[in-house]
Amino acid sequence: MIRFVGLGIITWAMLGACTSSQVLPPPGPLCNAPQSTTIPDVNPAHRASSFWLERLPKNESNRVLMTPHSIVSLNRGNQANEAAFQDVTRANFVNEEHTRTEIRDRFEWLQKRLMTGKYVASPTGMLTHANTRASQATVSNEIRLIHQEATLYCIPSKGGLYTLPTDKDFNRNHCSGLHPGEIARMLRVTPDGWSYVHVGHSVGWVRRLYTTKTILHGRSSCRTGSLSTTHSPCGGEPMSHCCPSTPTRGYVFLPPPPRASNPS
């Protein structure tokens, strides 16, 4: 009995505390100690570049890492390897047949992934809609800069491609990220503001609003796409607007869908 009485007293005390008009002060910071800005085993002398330069072998800090000849050799090797970083500003960079095949192969590869269930699309039918958009694109040959952080999409759609179970943080339609100052060679443009670009390390689609105005335009022959520091006879417009020999829209990369799909 004494135990039950004691328990009742404790319960009454707890309820009384909860109903009291007294307001407890807010909790203080978890750590009042000032945060240290030093790094263990690092003294102020280590923060000066002279500390490290004085410890280099003589003339090492002035040694040329790559000579002009080695730079040329490296660039030549990169251009011979499609998977290596590419100089998108070089003359005769554009190969229309290669671009067409590149876009078609990516659509076909993604279509197989969807048909086998390895990928799921959100929204459903986004691949078909993106294919229609790509088929309406016209050939371009101009150079622009990326002026803000942007997504390089694998296909011209903001929709998502996911593996199961779906994780929204891993969108297979996000081929890469683009940063301010990156150079983009515009190879296709759609009427609704998408561009197929080569950015040296990747190819894909970007919203044109993330790019600057044209800073360098394809000139000379429409077939070679060679570059000049002067504007083209098109007056800065995409080459397909003024060069009759340049293929225009209408190339469908995938066969027509068996049924209607939702746009993305």
Say how far apart CA 111 and CA 105 lie, in whole Å. Answer: 10
Q: Which of 120, 99, 109 is nearest to 225 (CA)?
A: 99
Whole-number Cα distances in Å, 142 to 195, 196, 211: 11, 11, 11
Model pTM?
Answer: 0.61
Say how far apart CA 207 and CA 178 lie, in whole Å. Answer: 11
pLDDT at 194: 97
pLDDT along the chain (264 residues), means of 10: 48 47 58 66 88 91 91 88 87 89 96 95 95 95 94 97 88 95 95 96 96 74 32 34 35 45 46
Q: List all residues 6 or more positions away from 87 whose beta carbon is below 8 Å from its beta carbon.
A: 75, 78, 79, 93, 200
pLDDT at 116: 95
Q: Which of 200, 98, 81, 173 is nearest to 139 (CA)?
A: 98
Please say whether the structural domain 86-241 has been given the CATH code 3.40.1670.10: no
The conformation of residue 143, written as its DSSP 8-state character, comes to E
Q: Where are the domains of the chain?
A: 86-241
pLDDT at 47: 87
